[in-house]
Chains A and B, each alone.
Chain A
Amino acid sequence: MVFGTLSLLMSYNDKSPTPPRWPLWLLRWFCSERWLEEIEGDLQEEFMLNCRWYNVGYARRNYCWTVMRSFRSYLIFDKLRINNNNHKNVMFSNYLKITLRSLLKNKVYSMINISGLAIGIAGALLILHYVTFESSFDTYQKDSESLYRVSLDIYQNGEQVFHSAENYPAVGPDMQTEFPEVEGWAHLYNMGSKNNVVITYEEGQGQPIQLKHRKFLYASPTFLSLFDVPMVQGDAATALAEPLTMVISESTAKKYFGNEDPIGKRLRLKDDDFNDENCVVTGVFKDLEPNTHLKFEVLISTPTLYTRFDGALTRYKTGWQRKDFYTYVKLAEGTDPMALEAKLPPFVDKHMPELKDQGGRNDLHLQPLERIHLDSHLSDEAELNGSAEPIIFLSIIAIFIVVIAWVNYINLATSRSLDRAKEVGIRKVLGSQRAQLIRQFMFESVAINLLAIILAIVLIAIALPSFYQMSGIPSEVLIWENGMLWYTLIGIFLFGSFISGFYPALVLSSFKPVSTLKGKFRNSGTGVILRKVLVVFQFAASAALIIGTFTVYRQMQYVKSADLGFDLEQTIVVERAAIASPTQEGRVQQVNSFRDELAKNPNIISVAGSSMVPGKKIRFKGDVRGVTQPAGETFPMNGVGVDHHLISTLGLEIVAGKDYVFGDPQNQATVMVTENAVKLLGYESPEDIVNKQVVIENFRFTATVRAVVKDYNHESLRIKAIPSIFFYSPFQVEYYMVKINRQNIDQALDAVKAQWDTTFPGNPFEYFFLDEYFDQQYKSEDQFQSLFSVFAVLAIFIGCLGLFGLSAFTAMKRTKEIGIRKVLGASVPGLFYLLSKEFIVLILISNVIAWPLIYYTMEGWLQGFEYRTSINLLVFGLATLIVVGIALITVSFQTVKSAKINPVDSLRYE
């Protein structure tokens, strides 16, 4: 025996694997004592065997799974039966019985209660999932809180001309050498607007696999380790150290190589800068998490860039001229980023001493990695980022909804007190203590909350597909894996059970048995006031949400239908070919033939080429001044390269002067400006500036203005139309815009593809519709709008459930009064008015409370748009009408019923 215990002790000491603890607790909780011991023993034995035969992980999983599978009725019922002898459990089962009975007795109430709570919880949890996803960006990265991106602001003559996510290539390495608090750096080059790459696997069997890539970056050798990119194959520290090396994602590897080993294979990259490089795959990384602001599938080593031409090392690593590298630094523990930021101006001065004399200033800022997705809206962002505002709004709505649902519960529970007053009286007479009654009502509240939570989970599961679509969260981010969700669920359950159970429990248990049994029971005045306050709160929230929804909707309609100054409709856009003719003449030839041949097709109205596409920020800035203005005092303007078809294809309007004409020798020497540039350049009206000269200082180019174009909104209406200058460059085409005939879209598309394949062989054909592309800028607003409206509807629905219960209660309370009034000759409509009046007043009060609150909130939201609708007061009236209407309908179910009741019945009531 002693020996046995000893060996048992030893087996605990020698670090033998143990099964997880929680399944055992679960098992002990539900499993009948009768079989518990041997089941535990068998589970343990199986676990040990599995450890020996397979591995610990498998054994643990199997253990949990088996326990879950053991959740069988015979074990549980046996336990319940045995435990029933126990005194505590008698009360427990009695509570259960009473709860079930009262739930079943008032099916409508129970349904309202449970479904109201469930909808509220489900809605709040869905919002929570959205909120946690949006705020989880990049938090999974190792040491994410010590990683910062260095952004760049450039000022010229005190005016901000550049506000970019990208920076000089030398910023990262120089910061590390000069500041001890910078532990590491990495930078990535995304080729900016020229990000147009075709990657081909040529060495495989059969047809070479050729794909056009967008999620494509050049990364410094330090990048993989700094971001701790999880590698499947290859070494993060060395994979990108050599020129002509690349790492690719697992799914990209699958696309090119199938099941073959990708390491050592070669992929050929061709881009429209005539780079043609055959790179070796030196590593494969796990596909990235969807919640990162920096998404890539292919990374190529920056040393590849250094081999491109003489001086490439300066251009791509040590230089302070070009600014096109995403730069990340890792700060040592305990570094204050603000203190480091303060040291950056002298750092810039040291490396760019000539800047001050030219009237320029560069500011470097540190952006915390985790906040980039929500807070950063610079030019040249790697992704379209989200924004923090809707997140806050939605969180408030989520809290609102849950609170409304709880309020409902309290409301209904107290209003049912009349119903249960007699039960309480009898219980008290039979010797119930107040504490016991409180316990009973608390138990009911726990039971109802539990049911509601189960129903909420079911509702979430049902709503999930449409939720994913609406919110734009990738569906691989499983809601069930969100830990926050479960904690919140438990929190809501505990808090809700307590909060919503406590007040009714106190009220109900306080009744005096004598008065309740004599039938003299009347509800206390304070209870009524509390209930009214709760209703006012609910409907104030509902009205606010309705007004908010309308305002957001109106603004989005306004923004989308506003006159942008050009025409987005029926235009498709094709990005220029990555693989083009190597000679200048050849490329001119290609551009010409694509444009001109295509224009001959009857289904195509016109074809234009440009350096820009509306909806994409323009990086290319001209520092422009009028020829009479003093040198150096320039205005930054968007620089746009156009051909002689662009103005007409996009439907831009010329206010003064003439568009470019094909073959006009003056084309190259002339520019066009937008109307808002006229005043800046020192002229009163558009007519005045035509044929005058302007100087574009950064190109050392003086040109004549040939025409003035009406202002157009190149980007979303959140920002003002930017002054622009148009240059004639018909062959530097980055985007082809093809206006097609609406009737024959398919034929037109076929024609474009056919012409593409003829002119640019070897390039995959891709296109997009201009209007869809432009509207993508409003993606986050669209999501916000749909979430907002859905949850507004939910809030109103829950509010109505509460009102329904409340009206039923009031009607019941006044049954006798109604009977007497009827006997004395009151009409049904008169009674209906009498009964509804009270609620209408409440709802009007709640609307009045909601108005100023929502007015200021929406005013603040609209401030975010440069172009906005005014808040329409009609919307307020409309929302009030809707709320009152819905409330009246809800209330009428009860009031009509009680108004119609035969007075004989109602007078005999009680």
Chain B
Amino acid sequence: MKGTYLGEFEELVLLTVALLEGDAYGINVKLEVEQRTDRKINLSVIHSTLYRLEKKAYLNSALGEATKIRGGKRKRYFSITPYGVRSLKEAKSLRDGIWNSIPTYVLQR
């Protein structure tokens, strides 16, 4: 199970990378997740999640261009792999399945 399991935060990051396709690097992902979840996230958490997702083959990465604001250091762009997309879909359909099975009167509470 370990290795294929997608944690809540990992899923969030993975979705964000997919959303930012073409512009997904550390800072951008962090800002996007922060904005959407409305909570403070430490950059190091984003980094370790991204690398973990890459190790699990949900993400690919390549070094990009350097900018002045970055002190001349290059960015690493991430993009989601087909396997990553499939995992996201699986996760979604799993949830949808459960959603659909919840009795309606429960949801009306």
Chain A residues in contact with chain B, CB under 8 A?
Answer: 4, 7-8, 11, 35, 37-46, 48-49, 65-67, 69-70, 72, 74
> Do A41 and B48 form a contact, CB below 8 Å, given A46-B27, A46-B43, A66-B43?
no
Please pick, from A35, A42, A48, the residue contacting B43 in the complex, using a CB distance under 8 A: A42
Cα–Cα, bound, A454→B52 (Å): 31
Sample (28) of A-B pairs whose CB atoms are under 8 Å apart: A4-B68, A35-B51, A35-B76, A37-B63, A37-B73, A38-B25, A38-B76, A39-B47, A40-B71, A41-B66, A41-B70, A41-B71, A41-B73, A41-B75, A42-B25, A42-B26, A42-B43, A42-B70, A42-B75, A43-B43, A45-B67, A46-B43, A65-B42, A67-B44, A69-B43, A69-B44, A69-B45, A72-B48
Is B74 at the interface (CB under 8 A from chain A)?
Answer: yes
Contact A41 B74 (CB under 8 A): yes
> CB within 8 A of A74: which of B43, B51, B70, B72?
B51
Cβ–Cβ < 8 Å partners of A69 in chain B: 42-45
* Nearest A residue to B46, CB-CB: A42
- In contact, B27 and A38 (Cβ under 8 angstroms): no
Question: In the complex the two chains form, what is the Cα distance from A6 to B67 in whole Å?
Answer: 13
Query: Given A45-B70, A69-B42, is A38 in contact with B48 using a C-beta cutoff of 8 Å?
Result: no
Q: Are B69 and A38 in contact (CB under 8 A)?
A: no
Given contacts A8-B68, A44-B69, A69-B45, contact A38 B51 (CB under 8 A): no
Contact A38 B42 (CB under 8 A): no
Contact A7 B68 (CB under 8 A): yes
Distance in Å: Cβ of A844 to nearest Cβ of chain B: 61
CB of A66 within 8 A of CB of B74, answer: no
User: CB-CB contacts of B66-97 with A at 8 A, as 1s and 0s?
Assistant: 11111111111000000000000000000000
Residues of A within 8 A of B72 (CB): 8
Expressed in whole angstroms, the Cα–Cα distance for A349 and B70 within the complex equals 73
- Bound complex: CA of A11 vs CA of B67, how far in Å? 12
Q: Which of A8, A38, A48, A65 has a CB less than 8 Å from the CB of B26?
A: A38
Total interface residues on B, using CB and 8 Å?
24
B44 and A38: CB pair below 8 A? no
Chain B residues closer than 8 Å to A4, beta-carbon distance: 68
* Interface SS of chain B: helix
List A contacts of B63 (CB < 8 A).
37-38
B69 contacts A70, CB within 8 Å?
no
Contacts of B67 in A (CB 8 A): 45
Residues of chain A within 8 A (CB-CB) of B73 are 37-38, 40-41, 44
Considering the chains assembled together, what is the distance between the CA atoms of A45 and B69 in angstroms?
Answer: 6
Asked if B66 and A11 make an inter-chain contact with CB atoms under 8 angstroms apart, the answer reads no
Tell me whether A70 and B44 are in contact (CB under 8 A).
yes
* Shortest beta-carbon distance from A763 to chain B in Å: 52
A556 CB, nearest partner CB in chain B, Å: 53
Q: Which residue of A lies closest to B70 (CB)?
A: A41
Q: Which residues of A contact B25 (CB under 8 A)?
A: 38, 42
> Which of chain B's residues has its CB closest to A63's CB?
B43
Q: Which residues of B contact A44 (CB under 8 A)?
A: 69-71, 73
Closest-CB distance, B33 to chain A (whole angstroms): 14
Q: Which residue of B lies closest to A38 (CB)?
A: B76
Contacts A11-B68, A38-B63, A74-B48 given; 7 further ones with Cβ under 8 A? A38-B74, A41-B70, A42-B70, A45-B27, A49-B27, A72-B48, A74-B51
Within 8 Å CB of A38, what residues of B? Answer: 25-26, 63, 73-76
- In the bound assembly, the distance between CA atoms of A46 and B72 in angstroms comes to 14
Smallest CB gap from A69: residue in B: B44
With a cutoff of 8 Å between Cβ atoms, the chain A residues found around residue B71 in the complex are 40-41, 44
Inter-subunit contact B27/A37 (CB<8 Å): no
Q: Considering only CB atoms, which chain A residue lies closest to B73 in the complex?
A: A41
* Pairs of residues from A and B, 7 with the lowest C-beta to C-beta distance, nearest first: A41-B73, A42-B26, A41-B70, A38-B76, A70-B44, A69-B44, A44-B71
